[in-house]
Amino acid sequence: MAEIMLYAQVNRDYYLHTVLFELANKAQELAKKLDNATISALLICKNDLAVNYSEAFQNSGFDKVYIAENNRFTHYSNELYSKVAIDIIKEIKPEIILIGATTQGRDLAPRIAASLHTGLTADCTDLDINDNGKLAATRPTFGGKLMATILCKTLPQMATVRPKVFKPMQENIRKNTEFIYKKPEIENISKKVEFIEFEQNVKSTINELDSAKIIVAGGKGLKNEVGFALLKNFAKEIGACVGATRGAVDIGLAPVDIQIGQTGKTVTPKLYIACGISGAIQHLVGMQDSDKIIAINTDKNAPIFEHADYGFVGDVFEVLPRLSQILSKNL
């Protein structure tokens, strides 16, 4: 029977990264197209930690969880984690391996793929199984102007997937998950990189786009820094995070770390307010799964209105103050 293996990333606070549950939901769909393939997880963590996650795995539809515990895994190490992952993958031989395109996942996946002499489709925004039973991984290319669907000719077929492109399970899929402990053979591995300490970047906490419930995003239609300053003030008034299109970033209105779209972040807030955004496909794929979308644009034919729940045809400078009054009373 075919097997789909997901990498279960443990965050610094020892919680499982939410991208695992997003991938688990998608894996259920892929497994059905592979004659109900086995869905497994690979968990690498410090001693006695795995037991804390057993219920989460059981409720997320996993058939098996391969566990490698050792106190040398307290902090992520590419050398140690990749060695353990490669050993287990060689033993289990899964057909498909999916890893979240997090900072850790983007560091780990290439080393695993290179060691296994297989292909890796990175930063995917969609996954499917084609008519030949092969993983079809879709990702943006040519600066986000095109979407490429890539097939891997070798096994295992590997892909990293952006967080937030798939929704997590809405209902629990309870399974009698089998927990399989593997003894990691790492005694003879000396780490070339040692963990010293982690220092939080205070600036990075200002815009928590990944978990934001309300996002106000600006495009080139804001025209200048004055327009973007208005956007920031509006966001502050309603308790929202600020995002931007690539166009706004390219002309210097916003930093790249708040860019939303194919070449930026994928977000799924409760409310997304698009200000001066035309609605190019490259931006839409990063926010189209928002629960509610409000669009403001002077062009009544702007594509963004086709995806918006509510639309205002008008000048952002005139609409935002009035919208602020409305939302402040209702949020």
Q: How confident is the model at residue 140 (pLDDT cuts 50, 70, 90)?
A: confident
Q: What angle is formed at CA 325 by the lines to CA 320 and CA 331, rounded to 5 degrees?
A: 105
More confident residue, 190 or 117: 117
Residue 157 has a pLDDT of 98
Residue 205 has a pLDDT of 40
Q: How confident is the model at residue 211 (pLDDT cuts 50, 70, 90)?
A: confident
Specify the amino acid at residue 82. S
Residue 10 has a pLDDT of 96
Cα torsion through 252, 162, 93, 151, rounded to 10? -70
Tokens 């894996």 sit at which residue?
27
Q: How confident is the model at residue 143 (pLDDT cuts 50, 70, 90)?
A: low
Tens of pLDDT, residue by residue over 217-269, are 999 999 888 889 999 999 999 999 999 999 999 999 999 989 999 888 889 99
Tens of pLDDT, residue by residue over 48-91, are 999 999 999 999 999 999 999 999 999 999 999 999 999 999 99
Q: What values do phi and psi take at 297, rounded to 5?
A: -160, 145
Residue 95 has a pLDDT of 98
Q: What share of the chain is helix, strand, coil (3-state, %, to 5)?
A: 35, 25, 40
Do domains 3-181 and 203-330 share one topology? The answer is yes
* Confidence (pTM): 0.79
- Residue spans of the domains in the chain: they are 3-181, 203-330
Chain mean pLDDT for the chain = 91
**For the structural domain made of 3-181, what CATH number should be given?**
3.40.50.620
Sort strands 135-141 and 126-129 into parallel, antiparallel or unpaired: antiparallel
The CATH fold of domain 203-330: Rossmann fold (3.40.50)
Residue 130, Cβ neighbours under 10 Å: how many? Answer: 11
Residue 331 has a pLDDT of 66
**Distances in whole angstroms, Cα of residue 196 to Cα of each of 76, 77, 118, 189, 231:** 12, 12, 33, 18, 39
The three state secondary structure string of 176-199 is CCEEEECCCCCCCCCCCCCCCCCC
* DSSP class of 16: B
